[in-house]
Chains A and B, each alone.
Chain A
C-alpha cells in the first residue's frame, strides 16, 4: 500500500478539506487466470478497535486497485481502509491489506467583509457592518452556516490604529 506503514495508534493525517488516494501494488504469483476482484471496505475506529463499516458516497469507486477519497467525504475520526483481492476463479484465494487514516478538522477562514477583502473604504456618516458570522468560510463544510457562530464564539477586538 502507498503510503504504507500506518498503524491504528499512528494513522496518516489528512485535513477534512484534503483529497487523498491510497494506492495498492498487487503482485500475482499465478500462471492461471489473472482475473481478480478488488474491494475496499472503510471502518470507523475507536482508540483500540475498528468495527463499524461505514457507507461511502457512491461516487467513490471501491472496486479499483486505488482508493480516491475526495475532500469532505469522511467525517472527523480515525478509519481503517481495507483492500481485499480475490482471484475470480478461486474465490477462497484472497488477500487483504490495511491502511489507517485520521481525518482532522480544517481551518476556518475568518472574513469580516465579503470575499476576505483586505481594505475597504467607509463613510464617516455611515454605519460599518463587520460580519464574520456571514462572510467566514468553514473549509470543513461547503458553506459557512452563520448559526455556527453558536458553536464558534465571536469576539471583535480593536487592534490598532495607524495613519497612512
Chain B
C-alpha cells in the first residue's frame, strides 16, 4: 500500500492495486512456529502465475535480512512438484530472484519429483534466454533453439539431469539471463518447473606482469596483478606453466621460482569469490639452468631445498619440487640418449612414453658407456629418493589449489620412472593416493575444470609409479643399487618363503614383486576414486578425455541403446546383446591406457 508491501495476513486493501489473493483468509500457517505457510486450494486463480516473496529477519539483529522468491503457476490439473538444483551446489549462489551461473564452467542441473507420483512418461528440458523489459521490470523469456547443439553444448535433454557446457555462455556473452525449464509428463498430468539464472561476471579490467624477464631456476620472479575488479571480490590468483600449477595466492603479488624453459608462457587465473575465472597470459620469459645452480639448490645452506622446505610454504615447496624434478627428467633423458648412442638398447634401460617413436640403432655396444650410465642413474636415483621423501611432510589442505599444486609436483617427480627406487615408489604412490582421497572428499564442491586438472596429474602419477614398479620385474630397466642393497640386507618373509620350493626368484625380485602388488592395489583404488570424482561432471553423452605422454584416459556416460558396436579409439568393443527394457538405462565407460601393459608373472 502506498508502494509498501502488505504482508499476506494484512487485511487492508489498496484500491489502486487490489490484492490478487481472491480469498484473503485462504491460507494458514503450516507449522506452530510460523515457519511455513499453506495457501489453501481454490484461493489462487487458474492459469495465473503468482510470485511469493518471503523475508527473514534476524531476531537479535533486525538489520540482518534475507529474502527468497518463488513463482507459482496455477493449473487446473494436479501437478506433482518438481524441484531443480545444481549438481555442484557451491557454484550456484543465490542472487535475489535468480541464481548466479559462472560462464567459465559448465552448468549441471538435476531434477526430482517431490512426493508420490505415477510412472514418468517423458522428461524434456527447455532453455530460454532472457531480457529485462525495462518498463514492466520483469524478464521476457525467448525459447532457445537447442536442437542444433544437442550432444555438443547440451546433454541429457530427455533425462532427469541436464548439462549445458560453457560454450553456450561464451558464444552468447551479451545474454545475462537464462531459464532452464524441465517438463515432466506423468500418465495424467504434466509438471513444469524452472531454475532461473543471472550470469556472474568474471574479474574485469586488470592486468598482470612478471619481472625480471629472464633468470635461472633459482631466481625469484615477481608476478604482480593490478586493478582487477569484481562485484563478489577476488578470491585468489593462481599461476600455471604448461598446465602445471606453479603458485596460488590471495594477494595480487606473488614471488615464484620457475622451471627451466625458453620462451615460457605463464597463465594467471584470477578467480572471484564465486569461482568465476578470468585467464590472463603473461609475456613470455626464459629460465636457464646449469649444474652449478642445481647443486646450489641442493646444498647451499641459505638457498638449499632443505632450508626452503622447512621454512617455506607450499607454493615455494611446489615450485622447487617442480623445478628440480624437471631438471632430473632432463638429465635422465640426456643420459638415456648418451647410452643409446653408445649401443645400449633403449628397451633395456627405460620405458618410453606413449608419444615416443621407437628407433632401432645399429651402433656397437660400448661396455664403459653402460658403466657410466649406471653410475649417473644410481646417483640421481638416490637424490630423487631424498627429494621425494621430503613430500611426506607436506600437509594436504582440502582446497582445490592445494591439491592441484601438490599433484603437479608429484606427477613431475615420478616422471623419470627408471630412477624410482622402491622407497620412492612407495612414498609417491601413498602421497598420490592421499591427494586422490582429498580430491574425492571435496568432489561436490569443485568445478569440472579443477577436478580434471587435478585428476590429470594424479593419473599420471599413478601411471608413473606402476611403470616404475613393474619395469625391473620385466627387465625393462636396470635394478637400482639401493634396491639391491636393501634387498640383500633384509631377512624376513623371503627367508621363510625360501623354504617353500616354489619360490624361484632372487631376493630383489621378491621384494619388487611384493611392492608391485601393493602399489597395483593402491593405484586401482586411486583410479576408481578419480573416476567417481570425474563422473559427477559427466552427463549422458558427454565424454572427458585425459591425454598425456604417460596415460590416455577416456570417460563417458552412454545409454545402453547407443552402445552396440561402439568403437573406442582404434579398438572395437562388443557388448552382449541388449534387451529392450534396458535401452534407457545409463552405463558409464572408462577406457584407460597406461604405458605399461599388465603382462606379469605371478611368483607368489
Contact = CB atoms under 8 A, between A and B. Distances in A.
A36 to B, nearest CB: 6
B205 interface: no
B83 A153 contact: no
A64 B397 CA distance: 11
Nearest to A28: B311
B547 to A, nearest CB: 32
Interface string A1-35: 01100000000000000111101111110010011
Contacts, number: 268
B5 A157 contact: yes
Interface in A131-164: 131-134, 136, 146-147, 149-164
B72 A68 contact: no
Contacts of A109: 66, 68, 94
A102 interface: no
Interface string B1-43: 0000111100000000001110000000011011111111110
A48 interface: no
Given A122-B72, A129-B30, A130-B54, A116 B85 contact: yes
A128 B98 contact: no
Interface in A95-128: 105, 107-128
Contact of B39 (A23, A24, A34, A128): A128
A153 B57 contact: yes
A117 B193 contact: yes
Interface stretch (B45-53, B164-172, B404-412, B526-534): B45-53
B192 interface: yes
B576 interface: no
Contact of B72 (A2, A119, A156): A119
Contacts of A146: 31, 33, 35
Interface of A: 2-3, 18-21, 23-28, 31, 34-36, 61, 64-66, 68, 70, 105, 107-134, 136, 146-147, 149-164
Interface of B: 5-8, 19-21, 30-31, 33-42, 44-46, 48-60, 64, 66-79, 81-85, 94, 97-99, 112, 114, 136, 138, 179, 181, 190-196, 249-251, 273, 301, 306-307, 310-315, 395, 397-399, 402
Given A23-B249, A118-B97, A120-B70, 14 more contacts: A61-B395, A64-B395, A70-B398, A110-B56, A110-B66, A110-B94, A115-B83, A118-B99, A119-B49, A122-B44, A122-B75, A123-B79, A127-B39, A131-B30
